[in-house]
Structure 1
């Protein structure tokens, strides 16, 4: 260990000479052998004398270390583990060794081969260097694509050049692209590794992340993450057992997402859990198996480039050199699962519990609330799922405010400021409003009907009233009105067949024929709102209409003269579709759609926001198609 030298010692006319031993030992060929021969030749003639010794008994180990710290000794301090036998040729009856508490150190056999899956990743390349300086000399690295980046090539060339300069660090590295997810690929990998030497260990670092909430997850992405972690590890365990390979190390790099949990990583957590069970099974069978649950790592790996602040989650990124230093101890553990993470220092905050909670949010987001606009949501600023989980749990635990993770991200900066000063009721009102809005939206079925008409109320007697379809194509916005009418109300649906119609004239003709089929005698009453009102006006000219009720009619002249722009129609459609959304959500959707370049992307954004807000409870099979049909009105 490098330490500063005290200058007081030089007052005694002593000299200090520094000798770079490693330069002589490693860079000058043949020096070690010549020095070894010279030393042994001169040990018996008195030229080389033993240095001074201060010998302590084994049970005095603590005393020996304390003596060493005083710096008063000259020579070596030696701990006698056991007394030497007087008869040096005795093969039995030797003195037993004292039992001492010691720390085991990790060592890798230079004659054995070590397999590292995902070894070309950021952590893997650092891991190779660490293993090499602890003895390992033969590696097989697996990668789906082989060497692709200049950095990977540079590291491998540097390892090779080190062996040229220093023979004792001569290292063989083989990059394998065999697919360990298959049995055949795993067998071929093990066969290639055994050609370099007996296999000493397997380290499973490979992973594929597809992080998102379960409601937005796809089966393929979910399965891809699980397979990337579990299949290779299962195959390596199974086939190494079948081949009776005695492994010194069988290790998987797991994650605190498995032990502690992390929103959006249920697939990754499950995959690591499977690997950990494999390690437990191996331990029960007397084989080596170790799962290391790492926290976020800062220098290399999948989180290296992400600017996250994990103070709210009570952990911070760990430096890779710290990981490797700790791993020396973890690899010697007798447990099957160990964990390593760095806890964040939490500052002691003063004030109310509301202000403490909100201040943690400010720290987590890394913002100044005084200069941040009140209308921005936590999601727009970039709140991580891990922080959202803690805020969600805090609101539920302390105030009985139950909201989803997506709802947390829709909370605005202004709402957090109000909450900070004690306006808890406003946050509760927001939670209730969201719950009510979600329930209303989930009752709406965004499905293009196959039937030509539908009953909109339960009245069976009286003169029917026929509702023409509104701009959004479904009658959700008119159902409340229909229920209050004391006569049968029948909605004339917009069906998929109508998407092929190229003009308002064809649409009017279709509804004329439909009404004739429903009321052969004519003299029927119709109701039209907005675009439906425009169709009603056309029917008054073409069909035997008795009475027509027209509300907020869309002007045909405005359509023909392009007075109604795409943005105006987007706004109208959004007002119909999102009328039950909270004001905060509406404002956010408007901001998001403004940044989209064209109408299809705007419609897709509105649809995705609705799906994210309602989750899988929303019946949204034809949501985007209904939006597109609304624009057929303007085109036609």
Structure 2
């Protein structure tokens, strides 16, 4: 016996019936039924209403014909049925979604036949469907359906073995828990016949990586080029070139990866007797020491040297070098355990010459053992008051070598003692040598090679993490408890069949092909410029930017110059894309430069008005830049052998409707149907329904012009859009959407803002806090500033600078909380 479950939504109760269909048809209409795997049928029902013959109006490209009919019909109380049966890419769905947002239009519904037959209101097949009284009726073949938004599944993670290139990065700067392996842009075919590519076996983590990942040092302190900043972690590696040569070296960044394109001048062959694990401990620390102490400090035999954080990689390398050069060595360490390590590892060090790096007491140790004279050279990596104490440790005419990035990046002021004692100061960043002229880099290479040949450049002790322990490796080094180097093992030096790599561990990441060109219609608009910039940062080297007006502002010109400085070829196309022949010319222009790999249509023409005031010309204008141009490029690109991405930027207007945008909704909906057809026919196609976008674009311009502009939902920032875009380009649905729903923060959540902030300070009882004491006065350190800023941005959408956070008081936090409710 079959059992049917019926849910009557209007009356709010559930009923179950046996042999349900015949008796229910008298009072209830079965809208649809679904059979569960268990054999149970689910029926969706509604009360049967008397059917009223509607006014039938066909919607097509002849706006002058059907638009007046609709406008006149809306003046009556009759039901209006709009239908389309000749064009599967008709935008009737977006039209009706927007139209039903207007007053007095709930009597409008539609039939959209995408395939199968012609509309015939007298046919029993259509009568049965129309009598259900549904507003949205879409027919494919013999199946009726509609369109609904459903949550999108994220793209699956990739396996290491199935990913040509992957690298490490934080998804949110300041939050080490978001460290992940990301898919990179290097393809296996790029490495063929190019011996500069190196398969990485070990990557070293340096303190620079901790500082940039945690947000304590901005990435632009390492490199000013934004196309490098997305993959900046790690600049030291060991591995094998494609011809099998074992090498070690360093580069600007991106060395925490499975493959890198090396700088051949800053790469050394691994000596016989060293393992690749040994080699990964050498390049950066020894290059730093040799360049700082020898090249800048001009160290000489018999001089006294103060080396801070001696058990770290640079510290141990400096001890080895200074001992070889015949210097008297003073060092600092952070714990008693590290001091004992020194005494075992370096028997030539005197126990009286080992101080504490956790406070400034080392100053007394130095002065006591030098008779108050001080040292000739300080190799410093300490900050704040310990940096000032280090300056006081210098003898007259001494040399201060600063290798710490924290104070250099903050442009901290050094004490005037340097000047008064005739000392010299050198702020040293090894990163600068990665972009120096080849003759300077060759000097670095020779000095390092001499040290290797003489035997004082030698491997250091190290802690090795598996690549599956990426987060743990960074957090371990950030504690400062490590001795020597911290390495990440990317692959086995001696492969073993018993070792199985972790699967589904690399996050997919969209990247552009440098050999292809990318066309952007509307590319000089607000969102267009951001998209172009995003594509450049993802590896695009050729942009064809289509614009009706061309470059008009200094800002547009400046963005283009920046891309060109990255080696990108930018071509501005002025062709009228509403014309098919002009679209062909634009494609040919692009193909003559590089094969077309990507097409993006961001063109927008807004002619907003209530339907009763709309004109056929308004509909035509909106359709030309979007639907018509997309149809042209759809037809032209179907013969392309290289096109990988055919993307149109639609709007949530077409998917959910918006008052006064019937023409805009229709144009966007038509583009969505084109993308569906392309996917069905085996071609790339993606339509993205964006919600209201902030920072740039039309919404921002309208808000500046009209402060009373009201938006449904919440504005999505452009950075959020670009972050989401990565995921949308990697999934397989033809039509997707991204928008932000409004979320009101209640009084309890707002109060939790104050509680959350004070938790970072270890203050559980807020009543004990002085209302006007700043967070800095309450004990907040620099790392807490980063964490609190991350909290405010992620949980409360509050964006503040570091100085503003330091000056926050309980009273000010309460005021901000009250504004959230």
Q: TM-score range by the shorter chain?
A: 0.3 to 0.5
TM-score by length of 2: 0.36
Higher fraction of helix: 1
Q: Which has the larger radius of gyration?
A: 1
Higher percent of residues as strand: 2
Asked which structure has the greater RCO (Cα within 8 Å, sep 6+), the reply is 2
Structure 1 length normalisation: TM-score? 0.46
